[in-house]
Structure 1
Amino acid sequence: MQTTTLSFANMHNYGELFANLFRARRQSFIVQKNWDLPEEMGMEFDQYDTPQSRWIAIHDFGHVLAGMRLTPTTARCGIYSYMIRDAQKGLLGGSIPSDLLFDEAPVSPQIWESTRVFVSHDIPQSLRRKVHFRLAETMTSAARELGATRLIALTAANWPRWYGRCGLAAEAIGRPMFIDDGDYQCVSIDLSGKMH
C-alpha cells in the first residue's frame, strides 16, 4: 500500500494516478452514494479541484483504495473559496445548509479544509481499518507540510467513534445535519499536538 500527495506541480510524475483518483471519487460519490455531482470521462470533479488544492491517494499498483482533497481556507477561484465557507455564504444552492457552522468560516493560512474523503467500497473489511489509519496519517503529515495547524471538515456525524481510533484530536464546530444520504457535522481537527 502506497500513499501519494498529488498536486498540479507533481501529478505528471505519477502516470494515471491523478485520473484514477477522480475515477474512484466518481465510483464512491456518484455511483455508490448517488450524489448529484459534475462528472466527465468517468471522473468526478468540482470547482475546488484547482492548483490551490492537494489530493491524497492511498493506492496499490494503480488501484486507488482511498483518497481526499485538501484546500487552503485562503483559496479563491472566481466567486468560490472553499466548500464549507461557500456553503455558509449560500453559494452552493442549498445542497449543504448555510447554518452548518456555529461561527463564521475561518480564513487563515494555517487552516486547511479536508473534503471528498472516501474509502473504496471494494476494500475488504479486514483491510478497511488499516486504510482509514493510513489515510488519517497521510492527511495529518501532508497538512502539516503545507503549514496547517488545523483542518476543518464536513464529515459523517459518527466521527467521534472513529477519529480517536485514527489518532485525530477533533471537536464539533457545527450542528449535526442530514445531507443527501446521512447525518454530517463540521469538525475541527487540531494538528498542533502532532507537531515535532
Structure 2
Amino acid sequence: MQTTTLSFDNIHHHGDLFSNLLRARRNCFIVEKEWDLPEADGMEYDQYDNPSSRWIAVHENNQILAGVRMTPTNARCGIYSYMIRDAQRGLLDSIPANLMDAEAPVAANIWEGSRVFVSSHVPAEQRMKVQMNLMSELIKASREKGATQLFGLVPALWPRWVRRLGIEANAAGPVLKIDGVPHQVAQMHLGTHLH
C-alpha cells in the first residue's frame, strides 16, 4: 500500500494516478452516493480541483483505495475560494450556509480537506489501515505547506478517527444532515506530534 500527495507540479511523475483518483471519486460520489456533480470521461471534478489544491491518494496495484483533496483557505478561482467558505457565502446549493459557528477563515496557514472517501472495495479488515494512512498523509502534507489548522466537512463520527491520530480537534459548526447523513465541520489543530 502506498500513499502519494499529488500536485500540478508533480502529477506527471505518477502516470495515471491522478485520473484514477478522479475516477474513484466519481464512483464514490456520483455512482454510489448519487450526488449531482460535474464529470467528464468517467472522472468527477469541480472548481476546487485547481493548481492551489493538493490531492492525496492511498493506492495499491494501480487501484485507488482512498483519497482527499486539500486546499488553502486563501485560494481563489474566479468567484470561488474553498468549499466550506463558498457554502457559507451561499454559492453552493448542496451544502447549507449555516455549516459553521463563525465566519469561515481565510489564511495561508489554514487548509481545508474535502472530497474525503474510502473506496467501497476496501475490505472491512483493511479500512482502518487505509483511513490511518490517508489521515496521516493529509496531516503531513498540510504541515509541509505551513498549515497549523485543517478544516473539513466530514461525517459526524469524526471524533473517533481524530482521537486515534492524537490530534487536537473540535467541532466548528452544528451537526447537519446532508443527503440523510449527519455531517459537521471539524477543525484540527496541527501540532508537532502525530501519534
TM class by smaller structure:
over 0.9
Letter in 1 for 2:33: K
Task: Name the structure 1 match of 2:106.
Answer: 107
1:29-61 Cα deviation digits (max 9, x unpaired): 111111111111100001100000000000012
Shifted more, 28-37 versus 76-85: the winner is 28-37
On the 8 A contact 2:26/2:43 being kept in 1, the answer is yes
Q: 1:143 matched to which residue of 2?
A: 142
Q: Does 1:28 align with 2:28?
A: yes
Residue pair 2:167, 2:191 contacting (<8 A) in 1 also: no
Conserved in 2, the CA contact under 8 Å of 1:136 and 1:168? no
Q: Which moved more, 1:178-187 or 1:163-172?
A: 163-172
Spell out, residue by residue over 1:89-117, the C-alpha distance to the aligned partner (whole angstroms, 9 max, x if none). 00112x11111100000001100000000
- Tell me how far 1:194 sits from its aligned partner: 2.6
Displaced runs of 4 or more, over 3 A: none
The amino acid across from 1:144 in the alignment is: R
Give the aligned partner of residue 13 of structure 1: 13
- In the alignment, the residues of structure 1 paired with residue 187 and residue 180 of structure 2 have an alpha-carbon distance, to the nearest angstrom, of 22
Residues of 1 paired with 2:178 and 2:148: CA distance? 28
Paired residue secondary structure (1:185): strand
SS of the counterpart of 1:49?
coil
SS in 2 for 1:194: coil
Question: Which whole-Å CA distance do the structure 1 matches of 2:187 and 2:160 have between them?
Answer: 15
Q: Which amino acid aligns with 1:191?
A: L
Unaligned runs of at least 5 residues, structure 1? none
After TM superposition, give the deviation of residue 167 of structure 1 in Å.
Answer: 3.0
* Structure 2 equivalent of residue 77 of structure 1: 77
Residue pair 2:24, 2:64 contacting (<8 A) in 1 also: yes
Offset from partner CA, 1:52-83 (integer Å, 9 cap, x none): 00000000121110000000000000000000
Give the distance between the partners of 1:49 and 1:19, measured in 2 at CA: 12
Distance in 1, Cα, partners of 2:55 & 2:131? 16
* Secondary structure in 2 matching 1:78: coil
Q: CA deviation at 1:183?
A: 0.7
TM-score of the aligned structures, taking structure 1 as reference length: 0.96
Distance in 2 (CA, whole Å) between partners of 1:193 and 1:165 is 16
One-letter identity of the residue aligned with 1:132: Q
Contact 1:64 1:120 in 2 (8 A): yes
Root-mean-square deviation (CA, aligned residues, Å) is 1.1
Q: Is the 8 A contact 1:25 1:118 kept in 2?
A: yes
AA aligned to 1:70 is M
Partner SS for 1:28: helix
Within 2, Cα distance between the matches of 1:143 and 1:121?
A: 26
Q: Which residue identity is paired with 2:10? A: N
- Residue 192 to residue 166, structure 1, CA distance change in 2 (3 Å): closer
Q: Once the two structures are aligned, what percentage of the paired residues are identical?
A: 56
Distance between the aligned counterparts of 2:159 and 2:14, measured in 1? 34
Structure 2: tracts of 5 or more residues without a match: none
> Which letter does structure 1 place at the counterpart of 2:64?
V
User: TM-score, length-normalised on structure 2?
Assistant: 0.97
